[in-house]
Amino acid sequence: MIYFTADTHFGHENIIRHCQRPFETVAKMDEAMVERWNDVVAPDDTVYHLGDFAYRCGYALDIAARLNGHKHLVPGGHDHGKSCRMLNGAFEVLPPLVTLQGAGHPPIVLCHYPLLTWWNKGRGSIMLHGHCHGRVVGEVRRVDVGVDAWGFGPVSLDDVLKKACAQAAPQTRTSAGQSMEAPGIGR
């Protein structure tokens, strides 16, 4: 199976207060997220982490080694320089903007940051992001896959597709003023 996540911020004590995470300590937060990850992700599954894996965390590589799955990192604002190089090997580090194309699902654009527009948006592609910590209202076919929006664990491709397709289709107007569904949405 394929899973997505973002904004774990392992080792980041202030994220508990900043995002009102329900953990007493950073150690408890880290352990809870490792447990939730491994509860849903099997060793042969694939996980795309859309950035901000850890923050000032000297044990980030140890945590990455404990996480199930074939892991890919789309870097976020905190995944740069030494911290990103350190994760190379535990993760396949990808470019900051990636498009997944596969059988059985529309193209999926991955970026740490939510984009206003993205490749083939009007033709049914989906945009997955992190960065917002569950605080931004979703746009049609754009889904925040960060842990703050999904119970502190990865979300499956199936659940992402359900959420993206359940969002209301935008309406456009014909020259006669009639409403119609925008092309490629809701199919």
Torsion angle of the four alpha carbons 134, 11, 50, 82, in this order, in degrees rounded to the nearest 10: 150
| pLDDT for the residue numbered 177 | 47
Ordered by start, the domain boundaries in the chain are: 2-181
Superfamily of domain 2-181: Metallo-dependent phosphatases (3.60.21.10)
pLDDT of residue 56: 84
Q: Which residues pair with 110 in a beta bridge?
A: 98, 128
Residue 83's pLDDT is what?
59
Supply the pLDDT for residue 5: 98
Cα Rg of the chain, angstroms: 17
* Number of other residues whose CB lies within 10 A of the CB of residue 132: 17
Mean per-residue pLDDT pooled into runs of 10, the chain (187 residues): 95 87 93 97 98 88 95 84 70 94 90 90 92 73 93 95 74 47 40
Q: What is the pTM of this model?
A: 0.86
